[in-house]
A and B are shown apart, each in its own frame.
Chain A
Amino acid sequence: AQTVTQSQPEMSVQEAETVTLSCTYDTSESDYYLFWYKQPPSRQMILVIRQEAYKQQNATENRFSVNFQKAAKSFSLKISDSQLGDAAMYFCAYRSPNTGNQFYFGTGTSLTVIP
């Protein structure tokens, strides 16, 4: 089974600053999809950004962008101009094209935004 590793259990960032959350994964597949989800205290997981492995270009969604390094199996999330509302648990997830909607999640990074 694929494994997803988030090595930073906790991170903090000053409001308006930039922070990068790390994620690595292990797979033997060449085609797959990667996601970052955010889970605020409300408990609902919210999709932040997604990346297709066959695309060289890094995905961006407003203040959120990724640094996808396929050879290194690394998928980090950069949050620019951090806002108080960005405080949450962030989960990196891997999805294989062969297992439907079975996602493999990392253990999460708790992000604190300091005013």
Chain B
Amino acid sequence: KAGVTQTPRYLIKTRGQQVTLSCSPISGHRSVSWYQQTPGQGLQFLFEYFSETQRNKGNFPGRFSGRQFSNSRSEMNVSTLELGDSALYLCASSAGTGPNSPLHFGNGTRLTVT
């Protein structure tokens, strides 16, 4: 089975621009979560989608948004980029919503905002 695929692997954007990151989950996985990883804050939960519905959202400003398509693929969008948005963005998929379903992560997208 193919793993979680994130594209692109690297992005360089300018302050004020917007960006869209893509994530394809493991086949059959309906839950997709996004995390932001920075040296200072560590891994922080952004949001989770299940069957095209946002199930849970972390403590991030409204500039961060996402969506999930009927094939479970997910996109994350960040508008009006700020320098502090530079981070590794990790996508993870899960087979279920039960608490014992581990997350399977992709390789991440490294976003640099200049």
Contacts and interface: CB of A to CB of B under 8 A. Distances in A.
Interface of A: 31-33, 35, 37, 42-47, 50, 52, 91, 95-97, 99-108
11 contacts: A33-B100, A37-B105, A44-B105, A46-B105, A100-B56, A101-B33, A101-B101, A102-B58, A103-B35, A105-B42, A107-B42
B58 to A, nearest CB: 7
Nearest to A107: B42
Given A33-B99, A95-B99, A101 B94 contact: yes
B106 to A, nearest CB: 7
Interface of B: 3, 31, 33, 35, 42-43, 45, 48, 50, 55-56, 58, 88, 90, 92, 94, 97, 99-108, 110
Main secondary structure of the interface of B (DSSP, over half): strand
Contacts of B99: 31-33, 95-97
B107 A43 contact: yes
A33 B101 CA distance: 10
A46 B107 CA distance: 10
Given A33-B99, A107-B42, A44 B33 contact: no
Contact of B103 (A42, A96, A97, A101): A101
Given A44-B108, A45-B92, A103-B35, 18 more contacts: A31-B99, A33-B99, A33-B100, A37-B105, A44-B3, A45-B90, A45-B103, A46-B105, A52-B100, A91-B43, A99-B56, A100-B48, A100-B55, A101-B31, A101-B33, A101-B94, A102-B58, A103-B33
